[in-house]
Amino acid sequence: MLDKKVSDFIKKSFRKGNIVCLTGAGVSGESGIPTFRGKNGLWESYDPEVYATMEGLISIFRADPQKLVDFVSDFYTVLLNARPNPAHISLAALEKTGFLNATITQNIDNLHQAAGTRSVIELHGNSFRIRCVGCQRKISLEKDRVKEMLKLLEKNRDSRIKLLKVLSRYCPRCSNCGSRYRIDIVFFGETLPQDELVRAYKILDNCEVFLVVGSSLVIYPAAALPLYAKERGAQLVEINTEPSALTDMCNCSIIGKAGEILPEIVSFLSI
C-alpha cells in the first residue's frame, strides 16, 4: 500500500499531461532481465570493459569465438524470453489516459513498446534494430531473425570463418551507402543518438513531474536529465528498490518494486 505521504503527494502533483518518465534496468528486472549493477547484475558475470565495447567484442571473437557465441546467445536469449511486466503495462496505461507525455528509457529491450507505450525515447538504442554505420539508416531486427541467427551461430560455433559469415548476414551492407550495419545499441564510450537526446531535453522543458523508475542514475548523460528537469521547476519522484544517486534530491522517493508500485499508482489515479 502507498503510504499517506506518497498518496497525498501524488494526489497533489500528478495531472494529465504533466508527467515524463525515465526508466532504467530496474523496470525490466521483473521481466527476467538482469540489471547491470547490484546483486546478480550482468556486469558481475561479464566485464563491461570487454563485453560492452565494440573493440572488446572484436578481440574476444579473435581470441576465442566460442566465448562470443556464448555471450551473444546469453544476451539475446534473455531478451527474447522477456515479456512486459506490470510496470511497463502501468506506464503504457498512464500514457493512454493522458498522464504521461513520454517515456525516456536507457533500456534496449523494446519492452515499453511491447506494452503499448507509443512515445518512447531510447537513449541507448534497441537490441532489436540494426543501424548503418555510414548513413545511420535503421532497420528492425525481428525476433524470428534473431532466433534464426542464434541457431546458425550455435551450429557454426567451431569455425571462425563461418561465424563471420553468419554475423555478416545479419549485419549486411547498406543498400543506400555501402557501409555495414551493426546492432543499434550504445556501447561504453560511444556517443548517444543525438536526435533522441534532443527529444528528451525538449520534452523535459514542459515537464512538471519527472518520474524516475529503476535506475541507479550513475551513467551520464541520462543521470543529468533529472537535474535539468528540476532546474526547470519539475518535481522529482523516484521508484526504486533501494536509494539511488538521485534519492537526496527527490521530492518523493518510493522504495519498492516498480511492478508493484506503478499498478497501485494507476489504480489510485482511478484509471
14 lies in the site for ligand OAD, by CB under 6 A: no
E strand or H helix at 89: helix 86-96
Per the listing, cell 533500456 goes with 107
Taking the C-alpha atoms of residue 125 and residue 150, their distance in angstroms, rounded to an integer, is: 21
- Within 10 angstroms of residue 118's Cβ, the number of other Cβ atoms is 11
Question: Any contact of residue 110 with ligand OAD (CB under 6 A)?
Answer: no
DSSP for 16-65 reads TT-EEEEE-THHHHTTTPPPSSSTT-HHHHS-HHHHTSHHHHHHHHHH-H
Number of amino acids touching ligand OAD (CB under 6 A): 26
Grid coordinates standing for 266?
Answer: 494507476
Whichever of 174 and 238 has its CB closer to ligand OAD, that residue is 238
Whether the CB-CB separation of 226 and 246 falls below 8 Å is answered with yes
Q: Does 25 bind ligand OAD (CB under 6 A)?
A: yes
Q: Which does 258 bind (CB under 5 to 8 A by kind): ligand OAD, Zn ion, none?
A: ligand OAD
Interface with Zn ion includes 255 (CB under 5 A)?
no
244 binds ligand OAD, rule: CB under 6 A: yes
Cell of 176: 543506400
Q: Which of residues 220-239 bind ligand OAD (CB under 6 A)?
A: 239
Q: Which of residues 197-216 bind Zn ion (CB under 5 A)?
A: none
Any contact of residue 219 with ligand OAD (CB under 6 A)? Answer: yes
219 binds, among ligand OAD, Zn ion, none (CB under 5 to 8 A by kind): ligand OAD
Task: Choose the one of ligand OAD, Zn ion, none that binds residue 216, judging by a C-beta under 5 to 8 angstroms depending on kind.
Answer: ligand OAD
Per DSSP bridges, beta strands 125-132 and 138-140 are antiparallel
Give the CB-nearest residue to ligand OAD.
26
From the CB of 245, what's the least distance to ligand OAD, in Å? 9
Catalytic-labelled residue, pool 88, 112, 124, 257:
124
Would you count residue 241 as binding ligand OAD (CB under 6 A)? yes
DSSP states along 189-258: TPPP-HHHHHHHHHHHTT-SEEEEES----STTGGGHHHHHHHTTPEEEEEESS--TTGGG-SEEEES-H
Residue 197 binds ligand OAD, judged by CB under 6 A: no
Residue 236 CB neighbours (<10 A)? 20
DSSP SS3 for 99: coil
Which range in 9-17, 32-40, 155-163, 176-184 contacts ligand OAD by CB under 6 A? 32-40
Selected range binding Zn ion among 71-79, 171-179, 203-211, 219-227, rule: CB under 5 A: 171-179
Query: Does residue number 264 form part of the binding site for ligand OAD (CB under 6 A)?
Result: no
Tell me, yes or no, if 112 is annotated catalytic: no
> Which residues in this chain contact ligand OAD in the complex, by CB under 6 A?
24-26, 29-30, 35-38, 41, 52, 106, 124, 186, 214-216, 219, 239-242, 244, 257-259
Active site residues per annotation: 124
